[in-house]
């Protein structure tokens, strides 16, 4: 399995194993990927696990919920490909996904 590639804002890459069903946030935490604070533990309550998903994968992600969208909405740095990593469970379909970490969250 190709797993998940997290790329820090300074270009440092972290290639880590994916775990089916585990959120990208938890995968980042378990692998000490910097830039994901995840203060609320994945409740979609804090917006500190903001990531940018590589365009090629956009179509394979679960739909964004209203609550997730609201949490992202007031961030002036929100991009079209912004997501909260706690809301994306890793799946076989996402094997090899590339995730960028935004500079503002560093």
Interacting residues with other proteins (CB under 8 A) = 29-30, 32, 34, 37, 39-41, 43-47, 67, 70-71, 73-75
Q: Which is nearer to other proteins, 59 or 80 (CB)?
A: 80
Q: Which is nearer to other proteins, 29 or 99 (CB)?
A: 29
User: Shortest approach of other proteins to residue 81 CB, angstroms?
Assistant: 19
User: Shortest approach of other proteins to residue 58 CB, angstroms?
Assistant: 22
Contact, 26 vs 42, CB < 8 A? yes
Residue with the two structure tokens 């995730």: 99
Angle (CA) 103-19-39 rounded to 5° is: 45
Q: Which is nearer to other proteins, 34 or 96 (CB)?
A: 34
Contact, 80 vs 94, CB < 8 A? no
Secondary structure (3-state) at 83: strand
């Amino acid at each position: 399995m190709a797993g998940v590639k997290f790329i820090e804002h300074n270009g440092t890459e972290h290639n880590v194993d994916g775990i089916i069903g585990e959120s990208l946030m938890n995968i980042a935490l378990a692998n000490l990927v910097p830039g994901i604070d995840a203060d609320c533990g994945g409740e979609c309550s804090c917006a500190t696990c903001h990531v940018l998903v590589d365009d090629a994968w956009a179509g394979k992600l679960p739909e964004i919920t209203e609550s997730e969208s609201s949490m992202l909405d007031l961030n002036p740095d929100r991009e079209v490909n912004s997501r909260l990593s706690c809301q994306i469970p890793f799946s076989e379909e996402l094997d090899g996904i590339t995730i960028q970490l935004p500079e503002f969250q560093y």
